[in-house]
Structure 1
Amino acid sequence: MAEQWTARFGGLGLAADQELLYLHLLTGPGLSAAGVGAAVGIGTERALAALGALAELGLVERPVADGALWRTAAPDVALEELLLRRELELRRTRGRITELLRTYRRTSTGPEGELVEVISGRQSIADLWRSLQLGARGQLRILDKPPYIRRSDPDLELASLARGVRMQVVYESLVLRDPGRLAEIHLFTEAGEQARVLPELPLKLALVDDRWALLPVSSGTEEQSVLLVRPSSLLDALTGLFELYWSRAMRMPPPDSTETPRDRHHQLLTLLAAGLTDESIARQMGVSTRTVQRWVRELMDRFGARTRFQAGIQAARADLL
């Protein structure tokens, strides 16, 4: 049975033997160390060691006499107290981060070690990005363009949105040509992500709160190294770069099958201005490519335009964009 253990209370710091014994004692009136150890498939010595640790944590009550049985304490009181202790330990650990960072900087080589760090290797980059997302407190601002280290994790972004992290993302229009990626973006915007689109972006960039920036070392076809930038004038400049492209980007309209013709025209013009192809626009709006082409011709006829560009100019003058 011990080999089948899967942690249910990993956040409490319980080892495998401790959790197995605790869960088993919860289901019975009380057992001896030998009895509960046999029930979960471990020896008496291991059981005694685990029970002693549980007693130190306040989760079980020690026998008052030889031969007496081990019993669990009331879970609501015992677990709440343990959780409070763990939270206090975590707060103390967080308070030591600055001290650890100073030590890290002193041992870093080169003048750039204090503010800019190079991380290499696809797995290391992916792990770092996941840690940064999990550590975001207030906002994530992203310039999103291929290539990607690995497929995105929708659950991770949805969890960030659910805990109140504000997300602003500017997508390069090329991203929207992938139906799977487009479906994910729709999922994110429905959950609260603010999404905009531009025909082209100069680089990939992620800003986490006002604490970190992550960007590729080079703009090659495959990322092998990234820069992690900490608070500095460089981080300020990267933040300004994001805000510039955010202000220029077109808002990405959500798909809506019940939209009015005016809404449809606004969405179509927005996507055309963002540089999307007819095929990408069709996927975004949930219609066929032929339908998109027909709508474009209708707009051109409406404004008396010979080209799509002229139609866009006329639309802007009519305050439709």
Structure 2
Amino acid sequence: MAEQWTARFGALGLAADQELLYLHLLGSPGLTAAQLGVAAGTGTERALVGLGVLAELGLVERPVAEYPVWRSAAPDVALEELLLRRELELRRARGRINELLRTYRRTTAGTEGELVEVITGRESIADLWRSLQLGARAQLRVLDKPPYIRRSDPELELASLARGVRMRVVYESQVLREPARMAEIHRFTEAGEQARVLTELPLKLALVDDRWALLPVSSGTEEQSVLLVRPSSLLDALTGLFELYWSRAMRLPPPDSAESPRDRHHQLLTLLAAGLTDESIARQMGVSTRTVQRWVRELMDRFGARTRFQAGIQAARADLL
């Protein structure tokens, strides 16, 4: 029984037995400490201790002499007050972060250690990336390319988008050749992510607000060691690098953008510019490889181009991309 109820209000600071006592009272007009001890399986003495904590928090009402039973307080009022109290404590804790960071930096040898930290190990890197995503307040900017430490967590990104975090991602075209990955990316863009694509990216990079950057120590070490960069001229340079590649990248067309000939041409040109093969483009657009080849030939003829690259240049000049 206890396992079914556990940790519903853990974020409010309630222990499991206190939570169980509160839930039993919510479903009853009133119970004695002895009755609650039996119902919750805690015993009378332990129930009295837990009820005392709940009373201090304002979640239950103490017994009166003429009617010696415990009652739950109205949850909308009691829980709201408790939530506000916890939020105040969290804000105070957040205010201590800089103080704690200064203490942490004093234990790091050298000036560079204050600005750049090396994180090693797959699990440590994955946990850090998850923490950075959860800590994003305003924006998240990513240069996305393989290899990946672990499979992405779509729900984490969707939750960030839902709470108003602006996300801009430049994908290397190699990842767009995977139908499952493309379906996931389109799910993100439908939720508000701004996505672009380039044939090749120089490195993996994540920028969280203007506070942190995460990138590999060197090419080929993505799964073993990364750099966590804090506010500095290096962080400014990495931000500029992202904006440069963002400006060069092509917009990623939505999956249903091939309904009209104009939209079909836009999608085709974008995928060609991203460096996808005819076979990959065919899978993306849901047509045969021969159809893609015919469309490419039509575009080349339209622009008088001898190569796909020339067709892309002419399309850009015509503001079709």
TM-score above 0.5, yes or no: yes
* CA drift at 1:5: 3.5
Kindly indicate whether residue 2 of structure 2 is the aligned counterpart of residue 2 of structure 1.
Answer: yes
Moved more, 157-166 or 108-117: 108-117
Provide the C-alpha distance between the structure 2 equivalents of 1:66 and 1:44, rounded to a whole number of angstroms.
Answer: 20
Per the alignment, residue 146 of structure 1 pairs with 146
Task: Answer yes or no: is the 8 Å Cα contact 2:139–2:209 preserved in 1.
Answer: yes
SS in 2 for 1:141: strand
* CA drift at 1:304: 3.7
* CA drift at 1:318: 3.5
Provide the C-alpha distance between the structure 2 equivalents of 1:41 and 1:320, rounded to a whole number of angstroms.
Answer: 70
Per the alignment, residue 16 of structure 1 pairs with 16
Provide the C-alpha distance between the structure 2 equivalents of 1:237 and 1:297, rounded to a whole number of angstroms.
Answer: 41
Alignment of 1:283-302 (within 5 A): 283-302=283-302
Task: Answer yes or no: is the 8 Å Cα contact 1:32–1:70 preserved in 2.
Answer: yes
Alignment of 1:276-287 (within 5 A): 276-287=276-287
Per the alignment, residue 89 of structure 1 pairs with 89
Q: Could you list the per-position Cα deviations for residues 135-160 of structure 1 after superposition, in whole angstroms to 9, with x for gaps in the alignment?
A: 11100000000000000011111111
Q: Which runs of 5+ in 2 are unaligned?
A: none
When the two chains are superposed, the root-mean-square deviation of aligned CA atoms in Å is 1.7
Per the alignment, residue 197 of structure 1 pairs with 197
Task: Answer yes or no: is the 8 Å Cα contact 1:172–1:198 preserved in 2.
Answer: yes
Corresponding residue pairs, total: 321
Per the alignment, residue 119 of structure 2 pairs with 119
Q: Could you list the per-position Cα deviations for residues 39-66 of structure 1 after superposition, in whole angstroms to 9, with x for gaps in the alignment?
A: 1222222211211111111101112339
Task: Answer yes or no: is the 8 Å Cα contact 1:120–1:224 preserved in 2.
Answer: yes
SS in 1 for 2:206: strand
SS in 1 for 2:87: helix
Task: Answer yes or no: is the 8 Å Cα contact 1:30–1:70 preserved in 2.
Answer: yes
Q: TM-score, normalised by structure 1?
A: 0.95
Q: Could you list the per-position Cα deviations for residues 227-285 of structure 1 after superposition, in whole angstroms to 9, with x for gaps in the alignment?
A: 11000011001001101111111111111166310111121111111111222222332
Per the alignment, residue 236 of structure 1 pairs with 236
1:134/1:222 Cα in 2 relative to 1: closer, same or farther (>3 Å)? Answer: closer
Alignment of 1:166-181 (within 5 A): 166-181=166-181
Provide the C-alpha distance between the structure 2 equivalents of 1:190 and 1:3, rounded to a whole number of angstroms.
Answer: 38
Moved more, 157-166 or 41-50: 41-50
Task: Answer yes or no: is the 8 Å Cα contact 2:300–2:311 preserved in 1.
Answer: yes
1:36/1:246 Cα in 2 relative to 1: closer, same or farther (>3 Å)? Answer: same
Alignment of 1:1-321 (within 5 A): 1-65=1-65, 68-220=68-220, 223-256=223-256, 259-321=259-321
Provide the C-alpha distance between the structure 2 equivalents of 1:56 and 1:30, rounded to a whole number of angstroms.
Answer: 18
SS in 1 for 2:150: coil
* CA drift at 1:315: 2.7
Q: TM-score, normalised by structure 2?
A: 0.95
